[in-house]
């Protein structure tokens, strides 16, 4: 059996073949850990980036809040331009933030509102009440339609301007002649106002009320209506809180009434006495014999004719005249009564009488012995 010979190994170094260098343990460790390291680096960068962004955003939010707070503080101190500029900066830095946009709009509205208040003040200074009223109405409408707290900064100013407007309006009104009641209404309108102009106007209105009351009361006094005059003064005193002029005039009225009552009493006494005298005259002396005549043209007949007149102040009826014949010794011989014609005599009217007595005898005397009448 043929033996096969194994080839002889040549242990000589092959110059063309080089053995690779042996790697260290550390080199092998880092080679195996390289992907992890890369991932760690990326994570770290991302984390730093996110953290930086978070810190920046937090800082920016804080800055925006500070700007907003500072701007609002300036706005509440009437520094509108500074507040507006700061809020605009904040809005440009972070657009679309509702709180900042609302604050910016509020500041701009407040600037415009301030202009309206200044315009109102100028109108009132110029006594331009028509434009002042229009401006005031516009301001009230703005306040009612808005919840802008900055408008409240002008609360005191608006109250003062409103009071001034009321005062100026009433001053213009009372330049015209007004009734006591109308003046009292004007006084009521400013009763709650306490500024100097309002106090002066209150005094003026009270003086006008007192003057008007005195004029009206004097008209009643002139016609001796003292109670009505007192009532008018009392009404004026109710409006003017015991105005000294009215108190003094009331005393004058009472004195005048007392004097009038005294005079009236005296006049009444005189009138009563005069009426009594007149009544006595009408009943005792009203009928006056104006003329009378005795006619004896016919034998045995004595005729009496004449006239009487009503000298009294009242109508009289049924006037009767009694006449008599006396002898020489003064003894009654005969008498007769005749009724005056007409039977009714008006004041200053005349009546006639005619009568005869048949008598035969000597010398006689004829006398009218009595006249009677009835007074209406």
- 93-109 pLDDT tens trace: 778 777 778 788 888 88
Please determine, for residue 6, whether its predicted confidence score (pLDDT) is greater than 50: no
pLDDT at position 238, please? 92
Please determine, for residue 13, whether its predicted confidence score (pLDDT) is greater than 80: no
Please determine, for residue 125, whether its predicted confidence score (pLDDT) is greater than 90: no
- Tens digits of per-residue pLDDT, 293-309? 999 888 888 999 999 99
| pLDDT band (50, 70, 90) for residue 320 | very high
| pLDDT band (50, 70, 90) for residue 33 | low
Rounded mean pLDDT of 338-362? Answer: 91
pLDDT at position 2, please? 44
| 320: exposed, middle or buried (Cβ count in 10 Å: 0-12, 13-18, 19+) | middle
Least confident residue range of 13-17, 221-225, 243-247: 13-17
- Tens digits of per-residue pLDDT, 49-76? 665 655 655 655 676 667 777 877 877 7
- Tens digits of per-residue pLDDT, 148-205? 888 788 888 888 888 888 888 888 888 888 899 999 999 998 888 888 888 999 999 9
Q: Using a pLDDT cut of 70, give the percent of the chain over it.
A: 83
| pLDDT band (50, 70, 90) for residue 35 | low
Show me where the domains of the chain are located: 80-173, 205-280, 287-375
Please determine, for residue 340, whether its predicted confidence score (pLDDT) is greater than 90: yes
pTM: 0.55
pLDDT at position 26, please? 57
| 304: exposed, middle or buried (Cβ count in 10 Å: 0-12, 13-18, 19+) | buried
Question: Quick one: fold of 287-375?
Answer: Immunoglobulin-like (2.60.40)
Rounded mean pLDDT of 77-90? Answer: 80
Rounded mean pLDDT of 115-121? Answer: 87
């Amino acid at each position: 059996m043929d033996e096969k010979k194994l080839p002889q190994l040549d242990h000589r170094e092959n110059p063309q073949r080089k053995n690779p260098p042996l790697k260290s343990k550390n080199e092998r460790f880092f080679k195996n850990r390289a992907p992890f390291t890369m991932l760690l680096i990326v994570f770290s960068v991302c984390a730093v980036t996110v953290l930086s962004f978070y810190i920046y955003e937090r800082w920016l939010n804080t800055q925006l809040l500070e700007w907003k707070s500072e701007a609002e503080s300036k706005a509440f101190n009437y520094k509108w331009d500074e507040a507006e500029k700061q809020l605009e900066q904040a809005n440009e830095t972070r657009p679309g933030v509702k709180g900042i946009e609302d604050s910016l709009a509020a500041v701009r509205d407040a600037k415009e509102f301030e202009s309206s208040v200044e315009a109102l003040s100028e109108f009132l200074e110029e006594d331009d009440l028509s434009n002042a009223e229009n401006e005031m109405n516009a301001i009230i409408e703005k306040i009612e339609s808005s919840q802008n707290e900055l408008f409240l900064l002008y609360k005191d100013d608006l109250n003062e301007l409103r009071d001034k407007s009321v005062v100026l309006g009433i001053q213009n009104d009372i330049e015209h002649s007004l009734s006591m009641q109308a003046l009292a209404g004007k006084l009521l309108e400013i009763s709650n106002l306490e500024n100097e102009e309002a106090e002066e106007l209150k005094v003026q209105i009270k003086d006008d009320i007192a003057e008007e009351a005195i004029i009206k009361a004097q008209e009643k006094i002139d016609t001796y209506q003292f109670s009505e005059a007192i009532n008018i003064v009392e009404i004026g005193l109710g409006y003017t809180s015991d105005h000294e002029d009215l108190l003094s005039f009331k005393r004058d009225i009472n004195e005048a009434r007392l004097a009038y009552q005294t005079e009236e009493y005296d006049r009444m006494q005189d009138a009563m006495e005069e009426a009594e005298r007149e009544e006595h005259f009408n009943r005792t002396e009203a009928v006056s014999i104006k003329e009378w005549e005795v006619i004896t043209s016919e034998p045995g007949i004595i005729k009496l004719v004449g006239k009487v007149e009503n000298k009294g102040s009242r109508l009289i009826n049924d006037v009767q005249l009694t006449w008599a014949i006396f002898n020489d010794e003064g003894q009654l011989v005969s008498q007769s009564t005749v009724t005056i014609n007409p039977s009714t005599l008006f004041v200053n009217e005349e009546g006639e009488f005619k009568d005869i007595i048949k008598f035969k005898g000597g010398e006689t005397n004829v006398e009218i012995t009595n006249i009677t009448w009835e007074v209406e």
